Structure 1
Amino acid sequence: MDIKLKNKISKPVMILSVCFAGILLSIGVYFLIDYILNGSFVNWFESNYMITEGQYSPETEAYTLVRQPIYSELKVLLFWILTISLEIFLVVVVAVSHFHAKSKVRKAVTEISKTMNEFMQSEKDAADLFPKEYAEISTQMVEIKSAMWQKEQMLKEEANRKNDMITYLAHDLKTPLTSVIGYLSLLSEAEDMPPKQQEKYVNITLDKAKRLETLINEFFEITRYNLQYIELEKETINLCYMMVQLTDEFYPLLQAHGNTTESDIDEDLTIYGDGDKLARVFNNILKNAAAYSYPGSVIRIWAEKNDGNIQIYFQNKGKTIPAHKLETIFEKFFRLDEARTSNTGGSGLGLAIAKEIVTLHKGTLTAESHDELTTFCVTLPLEI
């Protein structure tokens, strides 16, 4: 309301300022002519705009000298005086208007800035702070504040998930480490232990050490997670050859669960991107598929060209992912198995990292799950 009141007062103030400036200008010109340039001005005026001529006077019956204005020249002088005065007046009006407008804009910006700051720092409603004439700004500020609040909530949830994950990992590290130390102590102390028992304890120790390595790798994954400043080194990649290499690397893990892969990709099909980064994407998706597939099931991989893009599909048979969880599996530190006692899940970064790498390639990563079939689709542009 204060801004509106100032706008009402500003117009009469501007008019009075212009009138006052005109009066001061007139007084200044009069003072200059009448006091400072009195003699010089009179001489100049008489020599240019006055004429002396003899006129016969009937009363005195004689000729006398009479001085009178040269009206033709005097009209030109008055015209120029009025023209110059009008121009000066207009210049003064424009100057005053300009500085007044700038002042008004500065005041308006200051007021809006204060109002915006107050709105962002308080819980007050926008309608109570912004005047009606700023309804558009008010609407935009409400949207910005809402978006910032949602982002803040997402960051808090992400931080909480990360802290929980680190806590769980720290706790889980103790179990395999304790087992490794325990079995190694037994092997060291019991010199007469039967060979079969020694072999059994060695195998258990090896399994626990591998589990410990996995947990440590998850810690490293959490600490080095930052893809914002990664530069891609793109090249042409044979997709079929890359997928054969990846599935071969997964053979021991798949064999342990009785799973197999079935790939249907054209041998000549190529993609354009960063080979190392995309290999990490496919690796993370395959790892997820292997972890959540039913034992003895087949993981299918195929690719299709579509509207200037290439779509790579990974499909596994396993427990259907609920719709509300399907929307969050790409969030950082999110895991489908909420119990940390399960060995299927990792740090919850694999799919989040995969999605960011695909996004850096100007592509998309999506997932759908129904009828115990979960399908991930990586869409990449076909660039030459």
Structure 2
Amino acid sequence: MKNDYRKLKVRILVQIMATILLTGVAEIFLCTVFVDGVFQRLFADAVVRFFQGVFSMSENQAIYFYQQFFVFHKAEILIVTYFILLMFSLSLVLTRVVRYFDQISRGVDQLLVDSEQPIILKPELSSMQIKLNKVKSVLIERKRSAAESEQRKNDLVVYLAHDLKTPLTSVIGYLSLLQEADDLPTVQRKKYTTISLNKALRLEDLINEFFEITRFNLQNIELEQNKINISLMLNQLADEFYPILEHKNMSALVQSDDLVIRGDANKLARVFNNLLKNAVTYGYEDSIIEISAKKRDESIDISFKNKGDKISGQQLNHIFEKFYRLDSARSSHTGGTGLGLAIAQKIVEQHQGTIKASSSEDFTEFVVSLPQKS
């Protein structure tokens, strides 16, 4: 870092030293050529004529003043002349230095320009050029990510609004049939009632997804630190998911030592709930979801592993972004808001932990690493 501007410092130093040297050479030239050299007589005559013409002096008076100012005080006059020349020369050097600041200022202005053209500065400012281009790349990437996230959010709202209308229309339709036909057979009445209930439950899920979006954007997650038995929490979670697993003929196998950490039990339960729900959604039917918790050094790793389609590297790079969903062809039955993993990552990071995803042809795995605190 200390040598970032070495070229610039060397160039400025060279310019200053050259200015001092050239000013000294110019002063010596004036002294040896005009004051004490070849042009001394011409210089003296010019000064005398100047006094005669400007101040209306006689020749003797002009010669007297020339001797008083230029002969008897020659050393002082040369010193003053040298410093005047030096100040003038240094001002020119400073003007060139200020141009570097102008270049940097223009480079900073280009950060605000909506263009991917690189910022180009003088070679002496190569270090600043690299930094400005890095900042510009980060700003462009953030802008692109924000635009993509906003677009996914807008698309999601449109999809959810459409999906709200579909089950609502069905509920109204079947309830209207139940109201209008008093003599419906019991079996048919039960069928319509069941359909209406299922559609109403789907409506509830969609409304909860809307609230999920609002909560994620507006709330600050605050943690309540308590001791948590990870093994107990994971087993309870697997039991709660039994009906959902049974529906796909899946099972959850929990393997965990008796491990205890400090953290927010409700928030971490939400993390593990999202990961297990994700494993069920994208896992193959008739498969086993492996859940494990192991101690490693000063942390505890909680893993959720399921058999399913391989997630590509590009998808893994975006999997924890808000509103990002793996299923490209959206299913109104399985598609979520795309917030589950984003929320999970935020909660884990607030616990000073990390969450990572990996995928192969054989399985997909999410690993949460949490610090083990006493």
TM-score by length of 1: 0.70
Match for residue 292 of structure 1?
282
Q: Displacement of 1:340 after TM fit?
A: 2.5
Match for residue 253 of structure 2?
262
Q: In structure 1, give the amino acid aligned to 2:146.
A: L
Q: Aligned equivalents of 1:315 and 1:333: distance in 2?
A: 22
Q: Aligned equivalents of 1:321 and 1:246: distance in 2?
A: 25
Match for residue 158 of structure 1?
149
Kindly provide the CA deviation profile for residues 114-159 of structure 1, in whole angstroms up to 9, marking residues without a partner as x: 32233324456433xx222222111110111011111111111111
Q: Aligned equivalents of 1:340 and 1:125: distance in 2?
A: 38
Q: In structure 2, give the amino acid aligned to 1:368.
A: S
Q: Displacement of 1:228 after TM fit?
A: 8.0
Q: Would you say 1:221 and 2:230 are equivalent positions? A: no
Q: Would you say 1:126 and 2:119 are equivalent positions? A: yes
Q: Aligned equivalents of 1:236 and 1:109: distance in 2?
A: 58
Distance 1:309 1:125, change over 3 A: closer
Match for residue 35 of structure 1?
none
Match for residue 85 of structure 1?
none
Q: Displacement of 1:376 after TM fit?
A: 1.1
Kindly provide the CA deviation profile for residues 53-103 of structure 1, in whole angstroms up to 9, marking residues without a partner as x: xxxxxxxxxxxxxxxxxxxxxxxxxxxxxxxxxxxx9xx99xx9xxx8xx8
Could you tell me whether the CA contact under 8 Å between 1:259 and 1:297 is conserved in 2?
A: yes
Q: In structure 1, give the amino acid aligned to 2:119.
A: A
Q: Displacement of 1:231 after TM fit?
A: 2.7
Q: Which structure 2 segments of 5+ residues have no match?
A: 1-10, 28-79
> Quick one: which of 236, 241, 258 aligns to 1:250?
241
Distance 1:125 1:355, change over 3 A: closer
Secondary structure of the corresponding residue to residue 340 of structure 1: coil
Q: Would you say 1:271 and 2:261 are equivalent positions? A: yes
Distance 1:106 1:177, change over 3 A: farther
Runs ≥4 residues deviating over 3 A: 7-12, 103-110, 121-125, 226-229
Q: Displacement of 1:113 after TM fit?
A: 5.1
Q: Would you say 1:361 and 2:351 are equivalent positions? A: yes
Q: In structure 2, give the amino acid aligned to 1:217.
A: N
Q: In structure 2, give the amino acid aligned to 1:305.
A: K
Q: Displacement of 1:290 after TM fit?
A: 1.2
Could you tell me whether the CA contact under 8 Å between 1:263 and 1:301 is conserved in 2?
A: yes
Could you tell me whether the CA contact under 8 Å between 2:108 and 2:132 is conserved in 1?
A: no
Match for residue 309 of structure 1?
299
Match for residue 205 of structure 1?
196
Q: Displacement of 1:329 after TM fit?
A: 1.8
Could you tell me whether the CA contact under 8 Å between 1:227 and 1:357 is conserved in 2?
A: no
Could you tell me whether the CA contact under 8 Å between 2:107 and 2:119 is conserved in 1?
A: no
Secondary structure of the corresponding residue to residue 376 of structure 1: strand
Secondary structure of the corresponding residue to residue 261 of structure 1: strand
TM-score by length of 2: 0.72
Could you tell me whether the CA contact under 8 Å between 1:291 and 1:344 is conserved in 2?
A: yes
Q: In structure 1, give the amino acid aligned to 2:171.
A: V
Q: Displacement of 1:244 after TM fit?
A: 2.3
Match for residue 365 of structure 2?
375
Distance 1:326 1:8, change over 3 A: closer
Percent identity of the aligned residues?
47
Secondary structure of the corresponding residue to residue 373 of structure 2: coil
Matches within 5 A, 1:327-338: 327-338=317-328
Q: In structure 2, give the amino acid aligned to 1:320.
A: K
Matches within 5 A, 1:109-148: 111-112=102-103, 114-122=105-113, 123=115, 125-127=118-120, 130-148=121-139
Q: How many residues align?
A: 300
Q: Aligned equivalents of 1:318 and 1:135: distance in 2?
A: 49
Q: Aligned equivalents of 1:139 and 1:113: distance in 2?
A: 12
Kindly provide the CA deviation profile for residues 267-307 of structure 1, in whole angstroms up to 9, marking residues without a partner as x: x3112211111111001001111112222222111111112
Q: Displacement of 1:327 after TM fit?
A: 2.5
Match for residue 230 of structure 2?
239
Q: Aligned equivalents of 1:335 and 1:213: distance in 2?
A: 20
Q: Would you say 1:324 and 2:317 are equivalent positions? A: no
Distance 1:185 1:356, change over 3 A: same
Could you tell me whether the CA contact under 8 Å between 1:261 and 1:299 is conserved in 2?
A: yes
Match for residue 342 of structure 2?
352
Could you tell me whether the CA contact under 8 Å between 1:158 and 1:333 is conserved in 2?
A: yes
Kindly provide the CA deviation profile for residues 335-381 of structure 1, in whole angstroms up to 9, marking residues without a partner as x: 12122335222011101111111111121111222234211111111
Q: Aligned equivalents of 2:100 and 2:299: distance in 1?
A: 48
Secondary structure of the corresponding residue to residue 216 of structure 2: coil
Could you tell me whether the CA contact under 8 Å between 1:310 and 1:382 is conserved in 2?
A: yes
Secondary structure of the corresponding residue to residue 225 of structure 1: helix
Could you tell me whether the CA contact under 8 Å between 1:227 and 1:356 is conserved in 2?
A: no
Match for residue 30 of structure 1?
none
Kindly provide the CA deviation profile for residues 13-56 of structure 1, in whole angstroms up to 9, marking residues without a partner as x: xx89xx9xxxxxxxxxxxxxxxxxxxxxxxxxxxxxxxxxxxxx
Could you tell me whether the CA contact under 8 Å between 2:292 and 2:303 is conserved in 1?
A: yes
Which one has the largest radius of gyration?
1
Q: In structure 2, give the amino acid aligned to 1:220.
A: F
Q: Which structure 1 segments of 5+ residues have no match?
A: 20-88
Q: In structure 2, give the amino acid aligned to 1:205.
A: S
The answer to which of 276-285 and 223-232 deviates more is 223-232
Match for residue 179 of structure 1?
170
Q: Aligned equivalents of 1:106 and 1:235: distance in 2?
A: 60
